[in-house]
Chains A and B, each alone.
Chain A
Amino acid sequence: MRILLVEDEAPLRETLAARLKREGFAVDTASDGEEALFHGKEIPFDIAVVDLGLPKLSGMDVVKGLRDAGQKFPILILTARSRWQDKVEGLKHGADDYLVKPFHVEELLARINALLRRAAGWSKPSLECGPVKLDLAAQKVTINDGPTDLTSYEYKVLEYLMLHAGELVSKADLTEHIYQQDFDRDSNVLEVFVGRLRKKLDPDGSLKPIETVRGRGYRFAIPRNE
């Protein structure tokens, strides 16, 4: 999952970015409104977390600018002011949720996961396709209620594919949304991850959860349960 984190307070931005990376997000940060709008228009993010009080361009204007540019990814606003007026205003201008400062990082992570799920058309907190169940909050995958042990990169690939279950996901897309900017994109690491995932999810080859669309990408083939 690629996330845009916009926050002008350096200590908070760095702490949050580090935590988000630990949680498996590809994190891009911006420290002012103009930078945020520039990144937001260029890169296909999965979600953005935007502080309202920003230098150069206010968070509210960033949200408006992103929506005007046609960006549809969910946006969560952070605000130090808890007045209802500010909340209503932010949501009206295109944000999808708000969080009042200060907050528990766990709360922020839960909100981000919920927004990602909702944006992909999932309403329950866990993604279920046939026997495969992926718990977004716990980052755990089970098959027929039996635990499956995945590495963090394997989990990230599966999470992205399952969020978009039924849709075609190109390799470029997958790389873009999973890796940090500095990752070597020409390697065939992705194919290795997908190969390992197939073995772990479907040891006896009966399930065929991930389909390769030659020359175009992958698709999670088991239909959604909901």
Chain B
Amino acid sequence: MSATRRALSLHARQLISASLGLIAFLGLTGVALDKAFQNSLINNMQERMARYASVYWNEIELDSEGRIIKEQMDSSPDARFENFRSGLYAQIEGRGTSWQSGSVALFSLPALTPGEAGRPAQFTGPVTLRTGEDTTIKAYQYTATSEFSSSAGPVPLKLRIYEDEQEILGQIVEFRKSLWIYLVVAGLLLVLVQIVILRWSLQPLRVLEHDMQSLQTGKLQRLSNAYPLELKPISGSINALIDSERSNLEQSRNTLADLAHSLKTPLAVLQAHIENDVDNGTFRDDVAQQLMRMNDIVSYQLSRAARSGHALYSAPVDVLPHAESIVLSLEKIYKAKGIYCEFEIDAKSQFSGEPGDLQELLGNFLENAFKWADRRVLLTARPVYEPAAKRPGLYISIEDDGKGIAAEDIGKILQRGVRGDERVQGHGIGMAIVQDIINSYHGELAVDVSPELGGARFTITLPCLT
């Protein structure tokens, strides 16, 4: 068998387990009822026999010699005592005297061992009773003793009643027949109810399956919100995935369009120059400038295309190790400036997204800070907590002790919706890239004056994931 055997459907699992439970329950119920019915039949029989015995005891009359007067034993407690081999037999024996009911014919009951009077009545069985040359029956027996008095003195008598077990076996068979019919009918009904319940409770899953097919064929844009509580996280996640997939698609489409459009301008400039046939020096400068511009455009759009923004499904990334490796690199490059970079990073600071995006954020902001700083750079990072959020957000600030940024330039730096090639000169492509990253994580970027170092402070706040 292959290792990837298809798993049983939820429906089959539920049905099999419920049916097995039902069978076990109904089976045990049947056995218990059967047992209880048998017990009550046997109890009834014992009570009946005791009643017969008391009737016989009352009927007995002894003659002067202490013998049973058989003529007196004329009214039986049950007609079957008189019927030939009816299955109900009685016998009484004493010293030198005995009596048997009319049903005992053509065979004789085994002799009774004389028992002392006063012993409590005994009910046993079934025992084997010979009722002919080669016929035996199984019967229950009831034995009681009593002492009578006659002129000859006290006469101990023993009475035994036999009843054929066929009497109750027949009833048991009848009972069982109807019991199991009822149980099977009840079981079938329950299974039917079970199937209906299952179909009803698994209905949302079937709807989900159907909706997913509709999504794939494009009949549906996204999943509805009409799912039960247990499926809400799944449908929510699928919707989030769909949204990010769509926005990715849209982004790469936009990126391609932006790339094509923004490259056209420098190309037009170059073309104009060739046609105008200006002198060599300016031409060279212009070509160089346009080449640089085209290069900026390509790198900006490339970085945009590479971005994912799948924040919900990426593993959280620790900020500290990335910050350390970037600062080590920058310290190497800016060795001559002798810049001292301080960290104030909460060990629990984590970035929920692509490690590459975190590196771009830290790298670009820190490089700016190293570039403009006089001596000191301060990097602060800490998690942002919110009740009921699945993952904490992230606060990062990068401060330096350089000249800072003039208030009127801050607006230009933060300009939104401006393509990389249209941005303020001097703040480079890096600013456009980090702003794009922050936007894709629905974060915010602020620029102000560092209260501690006096230079510029860039503050990034990425929201909690809910």
Chain A residues near B (Cβ < 8 Å): 82-85, 87-88, 91-92, 96-98, 100, 102, 104, 114, 117-118, 123
Contacts and interface: CB of A to CB of B under 8 A. Distances in A.
For chain B, the bracket of interface size reads 20 to 34
The list of the 5 closest CB pairs from A to B, nearest first, reads A84-B363, A91-B329, A84-B359, A123-B336, A88-B329
Given A114-B336, A123-B336, A83 B329 contact: no
A118 B295 contact: no
Interface of B: 288, 291-292, 295, 299, 303, 325-326, 328-329, 332-333, 335-336, 338, 355-356, 359-360, 362-364
9 contacts: A84-B356, A84-B359, A84-B360, A85-B356, A96-B332, A100-B299, A102-B291, A114-B336, A123-B338
Contact of B336 (A91, A98, A102, A118): A118
Given A88-B325, A91-B328, A91-B333, 12 more contacts: A84-B362, A87-B363, A88-B326, A88-B363, A91-B329, A92-B329, A96-B332, A97-B332, A100-B299, A102-B292, A123-B336, A123-B338
Nearest to B356: A85
B299 A82 contact: yes
A96 B335 CA distance: 10
A97 B329 CA distance: 9
Residue from B292, B328, B329 having most chain A Cβ neighbours under 10 A: B329
A196 B360 CA distance: 53
A92 B325 contact: yes
Given A102-B291, A102-B295, A84 B326 contact: yes
B105 to A, nearest CB: 112
B336 A87 contact: no
A157 B363 CA distance: 39
Nearest to A123: B336
B333 A83 contact: no
Given A82-B299, A88-B326, A92-B325, A97 B333 contact: yes
A64 to B, nearest CB: 16
Contacts of A98: 333
Given A97-B333, A102-B291, A118-B336, A85 B359 contact: yes
Contact of A83 (B292, B328, B338, B359): B359
A146 to B, nearest CB: 28
Residue from A85, A88, A114 having most chain B Cβ neighbours under 10 A: A88
B291 A83 contact: no
Contacts of A104: 288, 292
Residue from A82, A91, A97, A98 having most chain B Cβ neighbours under 10 A: A82
B398 to A, nearest CB: 14
Contact of A88 (B338, B359, B364): B359
A114 B335 CA distance: 10
A96 B336 CA distance: 12
B448 to A, nearest CB: 25
A82 B297 CA distance: 13
B438 to A, nearest CB: 15
A82 B367 CA distance: 13
Contacts of B299: 82, 100
Contact of B356 (A83, A92, A102): A83
A102 B296 CA distance: 10
A82 B329 contact: no
A117 B336 CA distance: 10
Contacts of B292: 102, 104
A118 B334 CA distance: 11
A100 B429 CA distance: 13
Residue from B303, B336, B362 having most chain A Cβ neighbours under 10 A: B336
A98 B363 CA distance: 14
Contact of B360 (A83, A96, A102, A118): A83
Contact of A118 (B303, B325, B335): B335
B351 to A, nearest CB: 14
A10 B356 CA distance: 32
Nearest to A91: B329
Contacts of A91: 328-329, 332-333
B396 to A, nearest CB: 15
A83 B433 CA distance: 11
B362 to A, nearest CB: 8
Contacts of B332: 91, 96-97
Contacts of B363: 84, 87-88
